[in-house]
Chains A and B, each alone.
Chain A
Amino acid sequence: MKVQGSVSFLLMLLAVFICGDANSQGLRQSDEQDNVPTGKGYGVAAPSGSPAPILDGHQIQFHGGPLMVGPTPIYYIWYGDWTKSPAATNGILRDLANHIGDTPLFATNNTYHDQEGQTIKGPVFFAGEVFDDYSKGKSLSDKDVESIVQNALTRSALPEDPKGIYFVLTSADVDETTGFCNTYCGWHSHMKTPTSHIKYAFVGDTERCPASCQSQPVGPNGKGGGDGMANILVKELLSTTSDPELSAWYDGKGRENGDVCDWTFGTTYLVNNAKANMKIGGRDFLLQQNWVNQSGAGCQSRP
């Protein structure tokens, strides 16, 4: 009797598992014509159950997922050895985090809205940082990057903040083995913890591969990877806020707002023998443009 009861319960449990899995896979069958932002800088064919677009924007579609409308705290996890890098890199990126939310470039994300019509307004601000001395070695997988963020939260080095974005910034001697320098210069993702939903990004020191990940050998703020990292970091910030869970704004090719404009900068000027296209918090930067979700807009540095 006890065994029969257990078997029945087990069957029920299996049914619950199966139903739960089906629900988690979303709303529709796959469509070979649609891509999702899961590849290495390009879209890949949508897996079964990917959400269909629910609203057509201007050559970019809304798929119903949440946005990070703000305020958006930024946390840095400096991974590896940053004592050998030009000290300026840390300062450049801290300044950037504190001021990027006030720029016309960030305001381009104001053209994206969520289900309730809220747009991405910020503010964005630097909220804290921690140093990680090679806890996962010098050769990282994507999962290692996720673990680096988890470890920082577990040991309370940084607060667990579902409204924040955690940037794992690796020094030039660290490799991200899934394609850093050959396929990508940075990426963003998200993970669930027992109590929260964390958004995080990877940005490696572009000094590791200047030809691949820097638009110029020396940036407006001098030597080192600070300028190159700034460009990638802002791109990841703009994409993360408009598509934090890879379920909000992207086009039919699986490209998010920033992907469409990779390595396009618009009008530039010269400063310190380097190209720049905007001034942020007293510094000059060369930051790629962002897709503006307005009729006839395209890639721009301002709405």
Chain B
Amino acid sequence: MILQSLTVFARSGTGASMVLVLALFMAQSSQATEEPRKVPTTTRLVKLYGELESNLSMAILEPDPSKIDDLLTQDFEQRTPLTADNPTPRAEWLAACSKDAKILGAVLPTKMAVRDLGSSVVASFVMVDRNHQKQPLFFVIDVWIDQQGHQQLKNRFLSRIGDRSPPSLCERPFKSNEASPQR
């Protein structure tokens, strides 16, 4: 149909119209150069660490101290863009997670990628609202290490996505002698 239209306009001899039609034709053609939609088979590690992330969230929400100890190193810390030099340590992170239980229970990890670095594994993912999955909330990078055969989370780097995200997740309250975060 496009080629037929071009022929008609070529015969009509209207230059401006030709340019417009060519622009439309090129717009259509550019759609054909987009990356193809695909359905992938997730890696074994994406499945494994996806389950570990889920287990950790469940352990915090229950709460189950024994499971938490299994999955979280004693020196765990969380850093965010606003607390890059002042991370939230383990105990305060767990306390803050309990306060944020409603948010923690409502998010779902998506778009997970897992890179095996040998002694550690880096998992990155986007937390979305479980009920409104078009809404990305946080981008997370987790560093897991192998502790005598079982995996433990050692570092979490978390940043908000967009203005509609909750202001924080599992972040300790700022003390009075600290500068207020500018959000």
Contacts and interface: CB of A to CB of B under 8 A. Distances in A.
B115 interface: yes
Contacts of A269: none
Nearest to A14: B24
A144 B83 CA distance: 41
A143 B35 contact: yes
Contacts of A190: 36
Contacts of B33: 143
B13 A2 contact: yes
Contacts of B20: 10
Interface string A151-190: 0000000000000000000000000001101111111111
Interface stretch (B94-102, B130-138, B155-163, B165-173): B130-138
Given A32-B133, A33-B131, A41-B46, A146 B41 contact: no
A115 to B, nearest CB: 21
Contacts of A185: 40-44
Interface in B109-156: 110-116, 131-134
Q: How large is the interface on A (under 10, 10 to 19, 20 to 34, 35 or more residues)?
A: 35 or more
A207 interface: no
Nearest to A35: B133
Interface of A: 2-3, 5-7, 9-10, 13-14, 16-17, 32-33, 35, 37-42, 44-45, 141-143, 146, 178-179, 181-191, 202, 209, 211-215, 232, 235-236, 239, 243, 246, 256, 258-259, 262-263
Contact of A42 (B1, B8, B9, B42): B42
A241 B85 CA distance: 52
Given A35-B133, A45-B134, A209-B116, A13 B21 contact: yes
Contacts of B8: 9
B175 interface: no
A38 B35 CA distance: 12
A188 B41 CA distance: 9
